[in-house]
């Protein structure tokens, strides 16, 4: 069976830096695979992915963590370009879901 099979579901996590993408990914994985921090600095520098294996049903979910937008190092344009390139190469057969995280506690100006 190859990764193009319908048994693979790919979920992309997208959000501003510090909103909990990596923490959510770790929750779904039930393991601390993605690097996290208690301060809102950019921890995710590259796109990373891990597979959740549901053995009973032979279904696999690939959780894809991305660098945050409004990156604390000012790398937004670079990160977005690299993200698009990586997604086109590695996940060209499509992504099932894109989860956008929003920080509702942030004050609007």
- Amino acid 5: pLDDT: 44
**pLDDT for the residue numbered 26:** 92
CA distances from 53 to 56, 58, 64 (A): 9, 7, 14
109 occurs within a structural domain = no
Asked whether residue 108 is assigned to any structural domain, the reply reads no
Domain for residue 94, yes or no?
yes
37: which residues sit within 8 A by CB, 6+ positions away?
43
Q: Average pLDDT of each block of 10 consecutive residues along the chain (109 residues)? A: 59 87 90 84 81 73 85 74 86 84 74
Q: Tell me, what DSSP letter sits at residue 67?
A: P
Query: Is residue 76 in a domain?
Result: yes
The answer to whether residue 1 is domain-embedded is no
| Residue 34 resides in a domain | yes
Looking at residue 3, what is its pLDDT? 45
The number of distinct structural domains making up the chain is 1
Domain span at residue 29?
A: 8-101
pTM metric for this prediction: 0.75
Domain membership flag for residue 58: yes
Burial zone of 36 (CB within 10 Å; 0-12 exposed, 13-18 middle, 19+ buried): middle
Residue 2 lies in a domain: no
Q: What is the pLDDT of residue 4?
A: 46
CATH number, residue 59 = 3.40.50.300
pLDDT recorded at residue 13: 92
Nearest-angstrom CA–CA distance, 80 and 76: 6
């Amino acid at each position: 069976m190859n990764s193009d099979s319908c048994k693979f579901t790919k979920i992309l996590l997208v959000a501003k830096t510090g909103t909990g993408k990596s923490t959510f990914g770790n929750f779904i994985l039930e393991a601390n695979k993605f690097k996290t921090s208690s301060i809102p600095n950019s921890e995710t520098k590259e796109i990373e992915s891990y597979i959740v294996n549901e053995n009973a049903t032979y279904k696999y979910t690939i959780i894809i963590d991305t660098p945050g937008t409004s990156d604390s190092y000012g790398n937004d344009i670079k990160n977005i370009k690299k993200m698009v390139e990586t997604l086109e190469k590695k996940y060209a057969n499509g992504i099932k879901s894109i989860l956008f995280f929003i920080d509702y506690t942030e004050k609007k100006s």
